[in-house]
């Protein structure tokens, strides 16, 4: 069963029936078998909605399967068959995306030699939680903590 977020609401939508099924438990770490969804986080102020814990979330644009391709996307949480994976947008030089730094924001969708400069790299749950807290609070201490938590 594939789930996506419905616009302006925090509901899971069954794509086959196109109707709300249940609210998305973003904060929990144990999911039902066959659950599959992708949650994309961004800097506060650029979000379309928030999850149940108040973290800023992006919704997919019309016709796109996920919001992770949007330039505002900073972090991503994927759930597939009870496995939870955490990703953060990191440059090909190993620099974490800092949306508060204009130098980074100008190059979020840049490509060098047909290779994207920014890509999602899997990180630990601790690093991910510190990073999305930084995105929510804009407190640079959480950004430093996230980078050290790898």
- pLDDT tens for each residue of 120-134: 999 999 999 999 999
Q: What are phi and psi of 90, to 5 degrees?
A: -130, 145
Could you give the number of structural domains in the chain? 1
Structure token pair of residue 20: 């709300």
> Which residues lie below 8 Å from residue 136, measured CB to CB, with a gap of 6+?
44, 54, 55, 56
Spans of the chain below 70 pLDDT: 1-35, 103-116
- d(CA 66, CA 78) in angstroms, rounded, equals 11
pTM: 0.73
Q: What share of the chain is helix, strand, coil (3-state, %, to 5)?
A: 20, 35, 45
Segment 13-38, tens digit of pLDDT: 334 433 333 344 445 555 556 667 88
Structural domain including 106 reads 3-148
Residue with tokens 């999305």: 132
What's residue 138's pLDDT?
Answer: 93
């Amino acid at each position: 069963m594939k789930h996506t977020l419905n616009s302006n609401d925090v509901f899971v939508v069954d794509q086959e029936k196109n109707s709300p099924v249940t609210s998305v438990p973003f904060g929990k770490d144990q999911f039902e078998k066959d659950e599959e969804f992708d949650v994309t986080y961004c800097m506060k102020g650029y979000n379309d909605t928030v999850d149940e814990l108040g973290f800023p979330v992006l919704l997919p644009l019309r016709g796109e399967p996920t919001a992770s391709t949007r330039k505002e996307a900073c972090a991503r949480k994927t759930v597939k068959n009870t496995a939870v994976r955490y990703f953060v947008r990191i440059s090909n030089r190993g620099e974490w995306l800092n949306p508060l730094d204009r130098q980074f924001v100008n190059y979020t969708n840049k490509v060098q030699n047909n290779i994207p400069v920014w890509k999602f790299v899997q990180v630990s749950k601790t690093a991910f939680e510190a990073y999305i807290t930084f995105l929510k609070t804009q407190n640079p201490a959480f950004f430093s903590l996230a980078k050290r938590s790898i």
